[in-house]
Structure 1
């Protein structure tokens, strides 16, 4: 069922560019038709012009370019003669024996084995024997009999050369159009996949390495491109080519054409059997390829750790294991291909020629004049041509299977449920946030948040503190609707967060992470994220508000300074300042600082704290912090432990309670508390 659905979806993508594909197929039909006229033209040249010299000649009155003078008389082949030009019933017939030609005035009734003794020609066929009185003709006389055929032969050759030029032109057009359509299809598919990645829930990325997802967007779509460019082009070409050959074979001899068509079900059966065995290997190959991509990506990201902890050898061994498995499955598929493709075509070709010899030698030779050299040549030529597309089809089976598996993987990603995109404008909300009895589990089994209730009003700063794993980041994830809750309720300005489209909900939120992510581009583009609604003045003001202008103005290109991937040329503090400016430039109603000052030195922290005191005005701010000194002025501090709020209040209130917050604060201040540590 999945296989049919995959084929249907691939076909639907192809329909997007059906006009280009149909033009390419029309050009292909013309090219194939022009090319396949070759054997028929050759048959006509051999039978009618080269071997046609043995057809009866009759005496005629007038001389022209088709008449031949022999023994003071003019003769023409019967196919060239008009009744008004003919003289009586006198006939002449040429017969070849060995390399010599002989002329007889008698009608040769049948053909068979020829022998000559003196001036007597004997023809034997089975029980039939006939003798004729003949005269040997000279080489000069023979050339005279061939002369009328030279011009038609040249004309046929010129016509065929013209057809080959036409075929070459249309083949070029076909290839160009099909590849253009294929590239467009894959361009569209890659765009769809990339856009869908932007829409799938954050949970999709939790257990999937980035390298594996990248493999689907790049490697798998490239395999599908090969499907359209090579595989389908080969199949289309081969099917049309084979159809043209079968039509020509039926035109020449219907019985043998029917016998030759047995090749088609054999190929279909072979494809079914091949796919049955190849599918397993291709799935494993694509999976290992994704694993390799994932490991490479992970190794590059973690190269400093690998070097620092001397894990190079272990990492290399892990990679070699994956690489060896990939090689093993590739080798098995290669063995399967080697055992099938060439052997199949070789066997079919030999069987076809055995049938051809049996048919012509054992059947056609029983009747006089049924088989001509031209017919035999045309059949041999068409059979040779027939097995080229057969070879092409069989050789592309491996690529077809790889593309099919890759298609399943790409469509599996596209079938992931995505977030609905809503571009309707939502007025900037006030920022009054309320959690009412919220419980949440990532895996559906273990709750990471339990009965969380909190309220944050416009302009307030709420700090979330607690040990690692206490649920601080999970609260922010739910606020951003990275995940949806099933128990409890989250409201913003009284509106249920579930009823607000995710895009509009996040439009009025800003976040600064502990490890900020910068994109390749410039400092300006990293603040605005290329949003046309954010002016350069707004960008500069945001950077100045957080104090980033102090280091930016020392850079060669200042605000236009190039930023490499992840901002590797900037310090952690500088990246964090740009991240702060990004959040401020979007003027959010709700600002989230997720341990945003953890990687910043004391001087930079003081500068940011001063900036935040300004920009927090009129905004609801959530701060996740380990360094309790940064949240002393928070309006409300929530202490979490194992997914529950165990304490809440201001800094001074919590210290006076001498609970968990008090213990955490004392530890950070370097003081010893009784029964702690």
Structure 2
């Protein structure tokens, strides 16, 4: 197995979770907006109910007002002036269902259709069946072994219209009712979708806030092992996929479930025998969803993992573009990207193949099976059993409902890929949310004096690979402590522990006698400032980068901090001064200018403990002299820790700690260390060019 495949499998294992638990947590987020969701569900029920009432209206329109003309007609009294009375050949006729209870009826007659014409029969028709006209103009009816010929005369257009005229009012009213149902259905469909999308957006807003808040709760160690692109992918891509779950997937599942339930209720109301034929669809659909879910889950996990890796590669390429181009690494980066992109392409094709096999084609097969069953019923059972015959309106409504039944099935099937993708994305998001972190504290504390003590501190970034071993020293209020040593000796690790980016494996670190592990990280850092070797600037202005938009820092303090670090002359040359725009990472500023802003930021917060991590390495000699003069002023009353490769910048430090492979090998002032002529002495000599450097193995 390749290293890439091992990494991919590991990522899948990390994001794997119990689907039911994932669903419960998604429901938990949704329940925060249960009122809106219940409103949407209610509106959806109304929309589906009004839409499904359409075929029932059509059934009544056909059976009562159109084909109802073939029901028995009876002679009524000549004085009958109701709109249902139809004159013909000197008599008045009224349909059987239009007589009031107990109203007298005369001789029975029938109006039957043959081809496109209608024929009047002045006597009862004993049975119905296949109709045809005889040469003598009679109407011949045959059903099985039964045959009979009736005397009939063809109705003229005006006579035929007179028989339909009493039903026109009801027919027009039903058409308007049908149109009204469509309008109501459309209005409630719009309303439920609007409410559902609004609720979904609020759900995802809360989830994104939780994920971003969790990111702030996580320790620095977590980000050491997870590329930034994957974190970004979970906050943006994965949460957006989950939004689609609430907006489209759940909407289609809810709509489909209610729609199918309503259709089956309507089918049973129309004809229980016909409805029973279609019940096989339910277990088929359940088995379908289950089998598809098991197959699609692995593909979707692989796809989400690959998308996260692609984001990571793109983010890394953009951040390191100068290095990539300077060292001609474009082809290597393209090859790395293409490897992940090809894997993503392969799994998307696998998912596409699965969707093709189990998508619309399977729906068509099930629909055809249901129609074949319906044809078999009418072609066999209905002929053999006359009582099984249904009206034309029932048949129309049934076929209409049967066609409608497969629309939600198609919608549900089409949403199965999105459902599985959303569940995998939710798993990845919840894995991030489940990481152990520390709540961001809003508690404040009094400014501490700045007495720092390291007592036998040991620390390892990875298990049993210690980078610090038995570190012990004290720094009193107002002292400056310098840390020097070769690369990897542990200098930055000491300051990482002091700032509580990490906690020691053993030993203790105290500030004013209090163990730092007993203090909330944010509360402790309130009175600490740090300047890194590679300063980070945010999009905004110079002023916002100094104050970080902290309302407790006034504009006057921002300007004074910039003056204190020697940036006054440079700012005077800018058109907008401290309001000069800064783009991402301050890429339009020089390294020295970015560092000056970083210094001003640390000083504006007036820290009790100031940490300078090789902060002057990117500054020219003139700027360094300005900062050194400023630091002599601002470090009064502060405990200052300095990591510096330029040993000339730490000559005035109160305590210099010389580290070698995670241990303090020398300590003292500059003069004391020069007198003993140890490692520090050699480093000074090397920087002054008086001694050739040696390689320590």
Question: TM-score band (shorter)?
Answer: over 0.9
From 469, 481, 486, give the equivalent of 2:488.
469
Residue deviations 1:585-620 (CA, integer Å, cap 9, x gap): 111111000000000000110110111011111111
Give me the whole-angstrom Cα distance separating, in 2, the residues matched to 1:507 and 1:158: 71
Q: Is the 8 A contact 2:140 2:150 kept in 1?
A: yes
From 1, 8, 30, give the equivalent of 2:24.
8
Give me the whole-angstrom Cα distance separating, in 1, the residues matched to 2:676 and 2:143: 123
Residue deviations 1:236-258 (CA, integer Å, cap 9, x gap): 11111111111111110112223
Shift of 1:121: 3.1
Shift of 1:441: 1.0
3-state SS of paired residue (1:600): coil
From 621, 628, 650, give the equivalent of 2:669.
650
Residue in 2 aligned with 1:24?
Answer: 40
Shift of 1:83: 5.1
Give me the whole-angstrom Cα distance separating, in 2, the residues matched to 1:212 and 1:34: 46
Q: Is the 8 A contact 2:535 2:598 kept in 1?
A: yes
Residue in 2 aligned with 1:206?
Answer: 224
Q: Is the 8 A contact 2:654 2:669 kept in 1?
A: yes
Shift of 1:306: 1.4
From 516, 520, 527, give the equivalent of 1:497.
516
Q: Please state if 1:632 is matched with 2:651.
A: yes
From 611, 614, 617, give the equivalent of 2:633.
614
Give me the whole-angstrom Cα distance separating, in 2, the residues matched to 1:160 and 1:339: 38
Q: Please state if 1:306 is matched with 2:324.
A: yes
Residue in 1 aligned with 2:119?
Answer: 102
From 435, 442, 454, give the equivalent of 2:461.
442
Q: Is the 8 A contact 2:85 2:93 kept in 1?
A: yes
Q: Please state if 1:392 is matched with 2:408.
A: no
Q: Is the 8 A contact 1:111 1:369 kept in 2?
A: no
Deviates more, 1:358-367 or 1:278-287: 358-367
From 424, 428, 431, give the equivalent of 1:405.
424
Shift of 1:102: 2.1
Give me the whole-angstrom Cα distance separating, in 1, the residues matched to 2:419 and 2:292: 11
Q: Please state if 1:417 is matched with 2:436.
A: yes
Shift of 1:526: 0.5
| CA spacing shift, 1:468–1:368, aligned 2, 3 Å | same
Give me the whole-angstrom Cα distance separating, in 1, the residues matched to 2:452 and 2:162: 107
Q: Please state if 1:226 is matched with 2:244.
A: yes
Residue deviations 1:433-456 (CA, integer Å, cap 9, x gap): 101111111112211100110100
Q: Please state if 1:485 is matched with 2:504.
A: yes
3-state SS of paired residue (1:262): helix
Residue deviations 1:168-206 (CA, integer Å, cap 9, x gap): 111111111111111111111111111111110000110
Q: Is the 8 A contact 1:512 1:593 kept in 2?
A: yes
Q: Is the 8 A contact 1:68 1:145 kept in 2?
A: yes
How do 1:528-607 residues align onto structure 2 when only pairs under 5 Å count? Answer: 528-607=547-626
3-state SS of paired residue (2:359): helix
Residue deviations 1:212-237 (CA, integer Å, cap 9, x gap): 11111111111111111111111111
Residue in 1 aligned with 2:477?
Answer: 458
Q: Is the 8 A contact 2:460 2:505 kept in 1?
A: no
3-state SS of paired residue (1:16): helix
From 318, 343, 348, give the equivalent of 2:366.
348
Give me the whole-angstrom Cα distance separating, in 2, the residues matched to 1:267 and 1:101: 46
Shift of 1:336: 1.0
3-state SS of paired residue (1:429): coil
Q: Is the 8 A contact 1:110 1:368 kept in 2?
A: no
Q: Is the 8 A contact 1:512 1:583 kept in 2?
A: yes
Residue in 1 aligned with 2:12?
Answer: none
3-state SS of paired residue (1:27): helix
For this pair of structures, how many residues does the alignment match? 676
Give me the whole-angstrom Cα distance separating, in 2, the residues matched to 1:326 and 1:500: 45
Residue in 2 aligned with 1:93?
Answer: 110
Q: Please state if 1:158 is matched with 2:173.
A: no
Shift of 1:673: 5.9
- Relative to the length of structure 2, the TM-score reads 0.95
Give me the whole-angstrom Cα distance separating, in 1, the residues matched to 2:695 and 2:225: 37
Give me the whole-angstrom Cα distance separating, in 2, the residues matched to 1:84 and 1:455: 113
From 281, 284, 295, give the equivalent of 1:266.
284
Give me the whole-angstrom Cα distance separating, in 2, the residues matched to 1:675 and 1:252: 96
Q: Is the 8 A contact 1:110 1:369 kept in 2?
A: no
Residue deviations 1:28-75 (CA, integer Å, cap 9, x gap): 111111111111111111111111001011111213321111110001
Q: Is the 8 A contact 2:70 2:112 kept in 1?
A: yes
| CA spacing shift, 1:368–1:113, aligned 2, 3 Å | farther
Residue deviations 1:406-464 (CA, integer Å, cap 9, x gap): 11011111111111232222111111110111111111221110011010010000000
- Relative to the length of structure 1, the TM-score reads 0.98
Q: Is the 8 A contact 2:546 2:598 kept in 1?
A: yes
Q: Is the 8 A contact 2:107 2:123 kept in 1?
A: no
Deviates more, 1:598-607 or 1:246-255: 246-255
Residue in 1 aligned with 2:145?
Answer: 127
Q: Please state if 1:284 is matched with 2:293.
A: no
Shift of 1:264: 1.6
3-state SS of paired residue (1:465): strand
Give me the whole-angstrom Cα distance separating, in 1, the residues matched to 2:424 and 2:632: 56
Q: Is the 8 A contact 1:91 1:106 kept in 2?
A: yes
Q: Is the 8 A contact 1:490 1:496 kept in 2?
A: yes
Q: Please state if 1:242 is matched with 2:257.
A: no
| CA spacing shift, 1:100–1:617, aligned 2, 3 Å | same
From 117, 133, 137, give the equivalent of 1:116.
133
Give me the whole-angstrom Cα distance separating, in 1, the residues matched to 2:445 and 2:382: 85
Q: Please state if 1:363 is matched with 2:381.
A: yes
Give me the whole-angstrom Cα distance separating, in 1, the residues matched to 2:492 and 2:674: 24
Stretches of structure 2 that go unaligned for 5 or more consecutive residues are 1-16
Give me the whole-angstrom Cα distance separating, in 2, the residues matched to 1:305 and 1:627: 25
Shift of 1:260: 1.3
Q: Please state if 1:254 is matched with 2:303.
A: no
Shift of 1:134: 2.6
| CA spacing shift, 1:520–1:203, aligned 2, 3 Å | same
Shift of 1:128: 3.1
| CA spacing shift, 1:199–1:83, aligned 2, 3 Å | closer
Stretches of structure 1 that go unaligned for 5 or more consecutive residues are none
Shift of 1:477: 1.0
Residue deviations 1:237-290 (CA, integer Å, cap 9, x gap): 111111111111111011222331221211111111111111111111111111
Residue in 1 aligned with 2:4?
Answer: none
Deviates more, 1:316-325 or 1:407-416: 316-325
Residue in 1 aligned with 2:210?
Answer: 192
Q: Is the 8 A contact 1:104 1:134 kept in 2?
A: yes
Q: Is the 8 A contact 1:116 1:122 kept in 2?
A: yes
